Amino acid sequence: PTANGVEQQFGINHLGHFYLTKLLLPTLKDTAKEGSRIINLSSAAHTFTHPGYDFSKVPLTKNEYEPTLAYGISKASNILFTLELRKRLAGSGVIAVSGHPGVIHTNLGYEEPLVYFMFAYLYPAVEKVLGRKFTKTIPQGASTTMCMALHDVKYDKSSWTDGLYWADCEPFSNEKFPGSVNEEVVYNEKQAKSLWDRSEAILESTSI
């Protein structure tokens, strides 16, 4: 767990972002005319979250814990948080968007044997067989984030999910890339509100 007793992946990947964003909201609203924008980096791993998961009960308990599922829930939380932000900030001029930067080839996690094996041996072998690369360099990985920061993003109450989730420098959709977005989970307004309410309750119950 984190120092505050919260499941670590959820605490680091979502709750810290949630808390920081709430602290910054007054400033973001005051500077909306200058183009205030909230960008939450998620991951394709959000699809690890099964459709029946209830975000009013996050995070996983010790008995429920499974690393891959916990990571998926934390990344789905990034998108759901963005969805709820859009609704709560409607009319303020502040834009909220989330995205998947890609599988980036860095030294992050190299101290873990499995991560080292994947980047040093597995991914290069698969790329050689397929004849194409699916990992990205650091500049390539940063490009989607830059697009989310600089491109025009429009949405309203008729469709809060327009341009909600980006990858490869453009809004991602299951029409273009089947199965790439777990829409049943992350395009769910009820779940987005449940996550927000639960996140506030956790913050209130800790020493944060």
Place of tokens 């490869």: 168
DSSP state of 171: E
CA 61 to chain centre: 21
Q: Give the span between the Cα atoms of 131 and 125, in whole angstroms.
A: 10
Cβ burial 181-206 (10 Å sphere, 16+ → b, else e): bbeebbbbeebbbbbbebbeebbeee
User: Is 65 a known active-site residue?
Assistant: yes
> How is residue 74 written in tokens?
């934390």
Whether the CB-CB separation of 17 and 78 falls below 8 Å is answered with: yes
Q: Pick the catalytic residue from 65, 110, 155, 187.
A: 65
Whether the CB-CB separation of 37 and 147 falls below 8 Å is answered with: no
**Looking at the annotation, which residues are catalytic?**
65
